A and B are shown apart, each in its own frame.
Chain A
Amino acid sequence: MLKFIKHHMDTINGIGIYPAISFVLFFTFFVLMLVWLRKVGRDHMDHMAALPINEEFSTLEIEHNDH
């Protein structure tokens, strides 16, 4: 894919760096996201998942369990 882009955009100096940068950016982003998802506590996930259902007062108790 980089080949396609470079071939057509020879007129911009060092154009190859742009797709490279965006790839690195997003790869890093997704890796960080996955790392976080592995580390995050079950309590927090349960709290988030329950938000639509426990509509009446829920914030406090669960928030406290969380820490």
Chain B
Amino acid sequence: MMERFQYDNRIAKNFMFVTLLWGVVGTLVGLTAAMQLVLPSWNFAEWGSFGRLRPLHTNAMVFAFVGNAIFAGVYYSLQRLLKTRMYSDLLSAIHFWGWQLIIVAAAITLPLGMTTGKEYAELEWPIDIAITLVWVVFGINMFGTILKRRERHLYVAIWFYIATWVTVAMLHIVNSIELPISLTKSYSYYAGVQDALVQWWYGHNAVAFFLTTPFLGLMYYFLPKAANRPVYSYKLSIIHFWSLIFLYIWAGPHHLLYSALPEWAQSLGVVFSIMLIAPSWGGMLNGLLTLRGAWDRVREDPVLKFMVVAVTCYGMATLEGPLLSIKSINAIAHFTDWIIAHVHIGGLGWNGFLAFGMIYWMAPRLYGTKLYSTTLANWHFWLGTLGIIFYAIPLYFAGFFQSLMWKQFTPDGFLVYKNFLDTLLEIQTAYWLRALGGTLYITGILIMMYNIKKTVSTGKLITNEDAEAPAMEAEAAGHSGEHWHRAIEKRPIQMLILSLIVVGIGGVLEIVPTFLVKSNIPTISQVKPYTPLELHGRDIYVREGCYTCHSQMIRPFRSETERYGEYAKAGEFVYDHPFQWGSKRTGPDLLRVGAKYPDSWHYYHMFDPTSMSPGSLMPAYTAMFENELDITTTEKKIEAMRTMGVPYAEDFPAKANDDIVKQRDAITARLKKDGIDAQSDREIIAVIAYLQRLGTDIKSKPVVEISQLP
């Protein structure tokens, strides 16, 4: 018997519009950050400095732009693939408004410096909780819809949605375990190496399960739709799905090659990363081959153009990713702009272009009309493609050459580029071209917004789209011999559990050993907890996002030990909540910067970096000289550290502020000697205390003098 029902188009439309809105906002913030890397004067305010805008940019692109695009596509396709309306319009609305509120909260708190200091997970704990709640609402709505479906079998796109939901929930919760000390400040419960491993298990799988699997689901729905032909091989899509979610979860440690992470974990990450080529390319080919026989239409239809470039970029990024996981290649590329280029092939190409293709396809259908202008869409396509090229290619060059400069020695064995800054200034042209690429890309988005606005105004939203489908009949008898996988396709809850087991085993086997086995993190007796003043300084370091440009991880290469000092040991980071290894060096590594310069150098340098390093691109941090250090939180901070196992004496928290006064007076006294009249209650003093402590627990042995030789 046929049943009549209606699809909810309003929710898909809402998510589609905010995708465009946050897409423009997020890319404009990114362009501002790009300009700050060539013109430091663009660091226009304390809240608008690079270290605060860069997390805003990444979070906006990942969770606001891509996130809303996912939801738009899921709400559109899920209803149609299951032949039913969403489970609850109310939950859909809560999901929509909840997610937008989270984005607004992020857009306010990140520039204010409220951050956990863990990349792509910077949002503070109240927002983390809100994300969890909204995610649960989304899950209930999705599974409610799946349960009341009229199509017995779940199409592969829906498997990708399910795996996305399960895994993101797991990643988000495990990585966000924090100890709050106030509404706006918390410490990661993990420290050092463990924190790094959990963070990159999260970070890598955020790429996998937020930027990849949901978009693959969208690809498997919208690409066949736009091409009007079935997916090339449904069998391949099944292999694609299971091997992708199984392999991806293990690959996180490839972000930490040559770091202080135990060797076995690094090797594990490399092996699984290489294996990932197979399913990724299987998926890419499946997408491209879906267009077999329809290539003539690719020439005319902007939707297909966007999708072809998107899938191609997916293929390029997923070949490059495994290659970057090979240690010898990683040794060159890590910490350089090569990685920035790599992620933008994925972000601008794969995510951006697939989202654009989807929106150009969806908008006219939601409004029962035709696209206003194919010409404008083609303009968008070419501007966007040129934007990607101008963005990525200069940065590939920049990354490669800067890395070579870092590693270049004279015949006598000295570094050719002794000053890190010289290598940065060599690649400024590439940074300018990158900003040009970004401008082209954003221009394309603006053209799209105009085009979509015009399209929408010529039509009328089909709020509730009529549809009809037969009711799902009760399971007929005599299905013996039916295979287990086919049975799973009909049972979404089992599917959910199986996905969770698949990704769970990977995560557990990777992470648990570092927690269980003491020998994985050899303790070093000289390594002592931070003094309270240093801890405050560290919190300011985190607040300003210093880790977005400075690593604290010296790899065991001669070029690095020569430049920065003794390479990093796992045991040095046991009191680091959170770890601050960083992932990109726009400035030099800071792990052993302590005691390298006098206090006064840091004082001048933070006030005006160019005074100490002519040509420096670092923002000036004049606000630190005005802001009084808030020492009312000291006791809470030290207590929190004690709770997490940092060995401060039991009576220490209460008298920690005495210690602060002593240490900062010592610093101001040293500054005085260099002719600086500094106020000891300012933030800058704490920052100097922290920077001067960095890496000093382990110092390589002093040079042996002639007289000491036997």
**A residues apposed to B, CB below 8 Å:** 1, 4-5, 7-12, 18-19, 22, 25-26, 29-30, 32-34, 36-37, 39-40, 44-53, 55-57, 59-60, 63, 67
A57 touches B513 (CB 8 A): no
Q: Check A8–B81 contact: CB distance below 8 A.
A: no
Give CA–CA (A65, B468) in the complex, Å.
Answer: 20
For B530-554 the 0/1 string (1 means CB < 8 A from A) is 0000000000000000000000000
Assembly CA distance A40 to B489 (angstroms): 13
B264–A5 CB distance below 8 A: yes
Closest 7 CB pairs of A and B: A4-B264, A49-B230, A49-B234, A51-B155, A45-B234, A60-B470, A36-B483
Q: What residues of chain B lie closer than 8 Å to A55, measured between beta carbons?
A: 80, 467
- On whether the beta carbons of A57 and B470 are closer than 8 Å, the reply is yes
CA distance A25 to B151 in the complex (A): 31
Q: Is B428 an interface residue (CB 8 A)?
A: no
B673 at the interface (CB under 8 A from A): no
Complex: how many Å from CA A8 to CA B224? 48
Interface residues contributed by chain B, number (CB under 8 Å): 52
Can you add 17 more A-B contacts, CB < 8 Å, to A1-B268, A8-B262, A22-B509? A4-B263, A4-B267, A5-B268, A9-B264, A9-B517, A11-B517, A12-B517, A32-B484, A33-B238, A45-B235, A48-B153, A48-B156, A48-B234, A50-B230, A52-B81, A55-B80, A60-B470
Give the contacting residue for A22; candidates B77, B83, B470, B505; CB below 8 A.
Answer: B505
Partner of A37, one of B238, B267, B268, B517: B238
B residues within 8 A CB of A12? 513, 516-517
Q: Among the listed A10, A44, A59, A67, which residue makes an inter-chain contact with B469, where contact means beta carbons less than 8 Å apart?
A: A59
Among A11, A32, A49, the most chain B Cβ lie within 10 Å of the Cβ of A49
User: Which residues B490-522 have CB closer than 8 A to chain A?
Assistant: 505, 509, 513, 516-520
User: How far, in angstroms, from A64 to B483 measured CA to CA in the complex?
Assistant: 18
Task: Let me know if B246 is at the binding interface, CB within 8 A.
Answer: yes
Q: Are A9 and B513 in contact (CB under 8 A)?
A: yes
Cβ proximity bits B147-166 to A, threshold 8 Å, 1 near / 0 not: 00011110111000000000
Shortest distance between the CB of A29 and any CB in chain B (Å):
7
**30 contacts across the A-B interface (CB closer than 8 A):** A4-B264, A5-B268, A8-B262, A8-B264, A8-B519, A8-B520, A9-B516, A9-B517, A12-B513, A18-B509, A44-B486, A47-B153, A48-B489, A49-B230, A50-B230, A51-B81, A51-B155, A52-B80, A52-B155, A52-B157, A52-B221, A52-B224, A52-B231, A53-B224, A53-B230, A56-B468, A59-B83, A59-B472, A60-B470, A67-B476
CA distance in complex: A30, B244 (Å): 12
- Residues of B with C-beta under 8 A to A46: 230, 234
- Contacts of B226-273 to chain A: CB distance below 8 A: 228-231, 234-235, 238-239, 242-243, 246, 262-264, 267-268, 271
Q: Is B649 an interface residue (CB 8 A)?
A: no
**Nearest CB in chain A: distance from B215 CB, A:** 15
Which B residues contact A (CB, under 8 angstroms)?
A: 2, 77, 80-81, 83, 150-153, 155-157, 220-221, 224-225, 228-231, 234-235, 238-239, 242-243, 246, 262-264, 267-268, 271, 467-470, 472, 476, 483-486, 489, 505, 509, 513, 516-520
Across the interface, which residues of A come within 8 angstroms of B263, CB to CB? 4, 8
List A contacts of B157 (CB < 8 A).
52
Which chain B residue shows the least CB distance to A19?
B509
Chain B at the A interface: mostly helix, strand, loop or mixed? helix
Q: Which residues of A contact B225 (CB under 8 A)?
A: 52-53
Contacts of B469 in A (CB 8 A): 57, 59
Task: Determine if A59 and B152 form an interchain contact, defined as CB atoms under 8 angstroms apart.
Answer: yes
A59 to B555, CA, bound (A): 58
* Inter-chain contacts of B520 with A (CB < 8 A): 8
CA–CA, A45 to B479, complex, Å? 17
- Chain B contacts for A7, CB-based, 8 A: 264
Do A8 and B267 have beta carbons less than 8 Å apart? no
Q: B242, A29: Cβ atoms under 8 Å? A: yes
Residues of A within 8 A of B271 (CB): 1
B301 to A: closest C-beta gap in Å? 16
Q: How far is the CA of A50 from the CA of B224 in the complex (A)?
A: 9
Q: Which residue of A lies closest to B2 (CB)?
A: A57
CA of A47 to CA of B155 in the docked complex: distance in angstroms? 10
A10–B262 alpha-carbon span in the complex (Å): 14
Contacts of A63 in B (CB 8 A): 152
Chain A residues contacting B221 (CB-CB under 8 Å) are 52
Nearest B residue (CB) for A8: B264
How far does the alpha carbon of A4 sit from the alpha carbon of B509 in the complex, in Å?
A: 13
- B267 x A33 contact (CB < 8 A): no
Q: Assuming the A-B contacts A52-B157, A59-B469, are A11 and B234 also in contact, with contact meaning beta carbons closer than 8 angstroms in the complex?
A: no
| B483 close to A40 (CB less than 8 A) | yes
Which residues of the other chain, A, contact B470 by a CB distance below 8 angstroms? 57, 59-60
Chain B residues closer than 8 Å to A40, beta-carbon distance: 235, 483, 485-486
Residues of A within 8 A of B229 (CB): 53
Q: How far is the CA of A44 from the CA of B220 in the complex (A)?
A: 17
Once bound together, how far apart are the Cα atoms of A56 and B4, in whole Å? 11
CB of A47 to closest CB in B, whole Å: 7
Q: How far is the CB of B138 from chain A (nearest CB, A)?
A: 21
A25 to B508 Cα, complex, angstroms = 15
Contacts of A53 on B, CB cut-off 8 Å?
A: 224-225, 228-230
A59 contacts B230, C-beta separation under 8 Å: no
Distance of A67 from chain B, by nearest CB (Å): 8
Among B2, B157, B231, chain A packs the most CB atoms within 10 A around the CB of B231
CA distance A50 to B151 in the complex (A): 12
Q: What residues of A have a CB within 8 angstroms of the CB of B234 in the complex?
A: 45-46, 48-49
**A67 and B155 alpha carbons, distance in the complex (Å):** 19
Does B519 contact A11, Cβ atoms closer than 8 Å? yes
In the complex, what distance in Å separates the CA atom of A41 from the CA atom of B156?
17
Residue of A nearest to B242 (CB): A33
